[in-house]
Amino acid sequence: MTLPVIAIADSPLAQLAGLAFAKGHGTGNDFVLVADPDGALDISAAQSAALCDRHLGIGADGLIRAVRSELVPEGRAILAEDGSAEWFMDYRNADGSVSEMCGNGVRVFVAFLLDQGLVVLEPGQTLPVGTRAGIKRVERREEGFAVDMGPWEFIFPARAEADAGDSLVTADGLDVARPALSVSMGNPHTVVALAADAELTQLRLFEAPSVEPIPPHGTNVEFVVPAEPLVQDGVGTVSMRVHERGVGETQSCGTGACAAAVAIRHWAGAGAPDRWNVRVPGGTVGVAFVGGASGAERVELSGPAVIVAHGTLG
């Protein structure tokens, strides 16, 4: 599918006339993607927000720019760690704010690199991708992509270990504030467990939930309902909705799915599985916990990535 030329007179996008872009999504978490291999583009926060505007722009949960790592400061730091990480995922939220990382976005990013002919990656092969949350290694699989998301950690570890929770979350649709657990996946998340699907359905996530105390750089908030039974054939299952920092409610959040699995497994206690299915409004992603060479447990996120359209700004 090719999108028609977009009229952008009197828009923050006027200076981006002629910009080629693609639209892609991972389980409904959607992105505008632009290829900038030579680092020639200077897309401002206002222009990013205008591109992502669902009424006056293309519409997306975020903007992803594909640029060679050597051309951005954060990317040069990545290359010092791994010289093969040629490509950097420069990601902005829908409001134009810079974000560290997006788990669904990095899968779509690699699908976009393949779509643009910028990389060759066969099933079973892995590509290192530079992000502001470090290097993410993405494996191409027959059914999509799997991402080594790196190690997880509690944002408030002492309270998380002592009380199995570290904050209270208030949201429209919940009768009282609920206890929550804050998890970092390179970006911050606060996970709330709900008792039933009805509670998840009645949430109104038009405004950001209130989190107290809130992590230093803000937070994404995940609301999670464990399946009944929680574990079948060694795999745990939960359902999730998410309010993303700087975006609002989205159909999916990859790092949020990882954080949800971390929290639910922690609450479930000894014997909880290392493999999880996380159901989101846009589909299902897989989360797996694997040992790391340094001893730190790492998280793998798997799921589809689709490029659905191409276009040019008029």
258 is catalytic: no
Say if residues 303 and 256 touch (Cβ distance below 8 Å): no
> Cα–Cα distance between 205 and 242 in angstroms, integer?
8
- DSSP run (H or E) holding 45: helix 45-52
Helix, coil or strand: residue 262? helix
- 205 Cβ partners below 8 Å, 6+ apart? 171, 172, 173, 241, 243, 248, 249
Here the tokens at position 201 are: 């359905």
> Cα–Cα distance between 62 and 97 in angstroms, integer?
9
Quick one: CA dihedral 147, 149, 60, 209, positive or negative? positive
52 is catalytic: no
> Cα–Cα distance between 17 and 302 in angstroms, integer?
35
Nearest to 48 by CA among 39, 38, 57: 57
C-alpha distance from residue 200 to each of 178, 275, 278 (Å): 13, 23, 14
> Cα–Cα distance between 228 and 233 in angstroms, integer?
13
Quick one: CA dihedral 15, 21, 26, 28, positive or negative? positive
Here the tokens at position 219 are: 């937070």
Which of the residues 50, 171, 253, 280 is marked catalytic?
253
Which of the residues 102, 146, 147, 211 is marked catalytic?
102
Active-site residue list: 102, 253
